[in-house]
Structure 1
Amino acid sequence: MDASRAAGGLREPPDPSNPAGRRYIVRFLDDRDYGRFLLNDRLREPRRGEPDRDVRPLPLIRAVSCPADKAFRLSRSLGDKAVWEVDEPIEVRALPKGAIVTDKGIPWGVRHIQAPQAWGRTTGHRVRIGVIDTGVDYTHPDLRHSLERGINLLNRMALPQDDNGHGTHIAGTIAAANELQGMIGVAPRSLLYPVKAFDHNGTAFVSDIVLGIDWCVRNHMDVVNMSFGMRTKSRSLLSAVNRAYHSGVLIVASSGNEGRVGDIDYPAGFGQTIAVGATNRAGRVAKFTNRSPLIDIYAPGDRIMSSWLRGKHREMSGTSMATSHVTGAIALLLSLKPGLSPGQIKSIVKSSAVPLRKAKAPRSAGELSVTRILNAAERL
């Protein structure tokens, strides 16, 4: 088999032109070549002797991301020792924002999956959750007991402060802990480590996500929430997901909101993740959710109230919201049964699901149930 095909990439040199700031990910076929590359002068500007900030090492997958012109020069020097792909843009996506809301307490989705019934047994205590997103509002009273430092990949010197809102909403569903004056999430005593990979517009590159996964692996996250997706099947992203999975770090990912049938977004489409679709209050599949046999579990994603910027709360809908319910449920599971492998967790979540109402596909995934998950885990 062609080595480039085995590595999942292209051999043809990238286009040296650089339309609209296009970037490439160049992956080395031999770890030793990657190490030598980092040690030599290729990452330095020849005149100033300073690191080239346009070239970003991606150590988890033994790769670099760089503009097209530099990728072209690199490809000529490496020949058949590397493969490359476009460093595609990727977005966090939810349906149009709902109104700012004043009703708080325990949101319907948290109740629907039966999380409150589990809090006498587990609250997610000390489970480490990486949230790769737009950051989190560190001033939000609902989250002050749950937040750890995390990392801002866009500005390494700053906190991963949210300037979009999406990441704060996700964080609230997972681990808010302010029931009397705000809201409470699925796993209120879990620890959130925000990884800001997306800018204020909710956009990032695949290389940003790879760096985020790398950080989560190196910092020993137990589970990672990735409430975003893309249509393109990135081989570099697949490689990062695989390495996380085999390192014991499970990724929970959203299926997408375009209502497609037989097709879901990536990384949810990779078998090493937990792929999540959305349901409504009636326990039926939400109209907007993408669906296919690749979906592992459905969870509440329609009109979900959660934390928002500047201490507020907002309703939002999307598979992003459903994904955060699943991540919180896994935190409850891991607090009760630490040490479960990603494969074991995925098997428990899927086998414990409640059958969907009026599900057309006989083999369709079911809906999340915390009670059933914990009962199944205790039988292990």
Structure 2
Amino acid sequence: MIRHGGEPTLDRSAILRLLHSATSLDAPAAKRRIVRFRHYSDYERFLLEWSNFGAEEDASDAVRHLPFIEAFSLPVTAELLAAAPAHDLWIENDPQVSVHAIVHKPASREKGIPWGVSEIKAPLAWSTTTGHRVKVGVIDTGVDFSHPDLKQSIGRGINLLNRGTLPHDDNGHGTHICGTIAAANQLHGMIGVAPRASVHPVKAFDHNGSAFVSDIVLGIDWCVRSGMNIINMSFGMKTRSKSLLTAVTNAFNAGVIVVASSGNDGKRKSIDYPARYPQTIAVGATNKLRRIAPFSNRGMYIDVYAPGEKILSSWLRGKYNEMSGTSMATSHVSGAVALLLAHRPGLTPTEIKAVIKRAMLPLRGTKAPRLTGELDVMRMLQAVER
């Protein structure tokens, strides 16, 4: 992390104005923003004032400390924003982000291996690697802890929306993602890409599938500190966020592989953030015909495509759902990376991305098949031996 030295340049009154405003009765009307500091000494000073302030007032809910990026998230009014010392502070919006899935419908349980898991040739790799001991942090809506197909696969997680409670899924999206990555119930239920990997649910998204960037930053922080090998990010937004980029870069520099979905707008030259950042593996979606799914964003920013249309996976209350989206494609890639890491521990994020790109299968129906292709686990395992 970058440390800026120098004398503190923020005066105490400016800090207190921000803190008082954030905890006042008017705060709900103010927009949540992320405040970062040009000088590390100012960050330390804000931290000190906040800890003193928090002891007097219930400032814990309104003000979120983001130590991973040396920042705070808090409500800031437009007036305060205009008056803030711009040369000392970077203030940006703390926008809401949505999960990347579209229509879903209840599905009857299909025993065995879903089509996407077979398509990427994961079952052919299981005699060599099953993802054993690889930890995948799933920043999402939580997980259904009682699902019979996931009981063997769930590791310790965190609920960032309600600290002290388990990250129970009240939406379904997170459970679906976890199933594709690591479901392990071959006799009676479904099996995921890496059945011996462990998924660690990080609940940053509410029952509507919506989260603040600051909660995602806290989720990335937890994943890095808790020793995750991979972070699955099946969500995105249209706008760039320096705070999210800093968190993703810190994870990348710590050797954590970040897999992110490209978005479901059918765009040809643009993808969502954080997938657009080069420190992630950006994933687009294909269908059963091995063509790019119509809803998937595509183009030069995509690193790899994977099955994302009509994907059957685990759902709430032990059920199953069929979903489509680049979210679903991303969980296939996270599972594939888990298989690769269990086989060859110690590969860096840069090396893993290179292996994936070297091992892709050309897509059907694309004019430039060499640029990008579909995930293929067996080719990945062969490519890493070369």
Q: What TM-score comes out, normalization by structure 1 length? A: 0.91
Aligned partner of 2:160 in structure 1 is: 153
Q: Is the 8 A contact 2:109 2:189 kept in 1?
A: no
2:316 is matched with 309
* Cα separation, 1, equivalents of 2:54 and 2:343: 52
Relative to structure 1, is the Cα distance of residues 43 and 327 closer, same or farther in structure 2, using a 3 angstrom cutoff? farther
Task: Please give the residue correspondences for 1:339-378 in structure 2 after superposition, counting only pairs within 5 Å.
Answer: 339-378=346-385
Correspondence 1:14-93 to 2 at 5 A: 21-41=30-50, 44=53, 48-69=56-77, 72=80, 76=84, 80-93=87-100
> Is residue 43–residue 51 contact of structure 1 (8 Å, CA) maintained in 2?
no
Post-superposition offset of 1:34: 1.4
Matches within 5 A, 1:74-223: 76=84, 80-223=87-230
Which residue matches 1:254? 261
For 1:71 and 1:283, the matched residues in 2 are separated by 53
Please identify, of 29-38 and 228-237, the stretch whose mean Cα deviation from structure 2 is larger: 29-38
Shift in alpha-carbon separation, 1:70–1:153, aligned structure 2, 3 A: farther
Structure 1 residue runs of 5 or longer lacking an equivalent are: 1-12
- Contact 1:101-1:313 within 8 A present in 2 as well: yes
Distance in structure 2 (CA, Å) of the matches to 1:110 and 1:41: 49
Are the aligned partners of 1:136 and 1:162 in contact in 2 as well (CA < 8 Å)?
yes
Deviation at 1:220, TM superposition (A): 1.3
Equivalent AA in structure 2 for residue 110 of structure 1: V
| Bigger mean CA offset, 35-44 vs 101-110 | 35-44
Q: Indicate whether 1:326 and 2:333 are aligned.
A: yes
Aligned to 1:281: 288
Q: Hey, what's the Cα distance between the residues in 1 that align with 2:39 and 2:79? A: 17
Distance 2:137 2:79 in 1: 31
**Cα separation, 1, equivalents of 2:98 and 2:52:** 28
Runs (5+) with no aligned partner, structure 2: 1-16
In structure 2, relative to structure 1, the CA distance for the partners of 1:49 and 1:318 (3 Å cut) is closer
Equivalent residue, structure 1, for 2:274: 267
Q: Is the 8 A contact 1:256 1:290 kept in 2?
A: yes
Deviation at 1:42, TM superposition (A): 6.6
The share of aligned pairs that are identical, in percent, is: 58
Deviation, 1:250, is 1.3
* Alpha-carbon displacement from aligned partner over 1:46-84 (angstroms, at most 9, x marks no partner): 8x35544211011111110000139938974x5522201
Cα distance in 2 for partners of 1:271, 1:73 equals 31
Aligned equivalents of 2:163 and 2:323: distance in 1?
A: 29
Task: State how far apart, in whole Å, the 1-side matches of 2:52 and 2:380 are.
Answer: 48
Change (3 A) 1:82 1:138: same
Q: Secondary structure at the match of 1:322?
A: helix
Work out the CA distance in 2 between the residues paired with 1:45 and 1:159: 25
Q: Secondary structure, in 3 states, of the residue corresponding to 1:44?
A: helix
Q: 2:78 and 2:111 mapped to 1: Cα distance?
A: 51
The 2-side partners of 1:300 and 1:73 are apart by 44
Deviations 1:242-264 (A, max 9, x none): 11101111110001111011011
8 Å Cα contact 2:232/2:330 also seen in 1: yes
What is the SS of the residue equivalent to 1:142?
coil
2:363 touches 2:369 (CA, 8 Å); kept in 1? no
Equivalent position amino acid for 1:95 in 2 = I
> Which residue type is aligned with residue 90 of structure 1?
V
Q: CA offsets, 1:314-360, max 9 Å, x none?
A: 11011000000000000000000001111001110111100111212
How far does residue 39 in structure 1 lie from its aligned partner after superposition? 1.9
1:219 is matched by which residue type in structure 2? Answer: S
Contact 1:302 1:316 in 2 (8 A): yes
Matched to 1:173, the amino acid is T
In structure 2, the CA distance between the partners of 1:367 and 1:81, relative to structure 1 (3 Å rule), is same
Distance verdict in 2 for CA 1:23–1:280, change over 3 Å: same
Note if contact 1:98-1:303 (Cα within 8 Å) is conserved in structure 2: no
- Cα RMSD (Å): 2.2
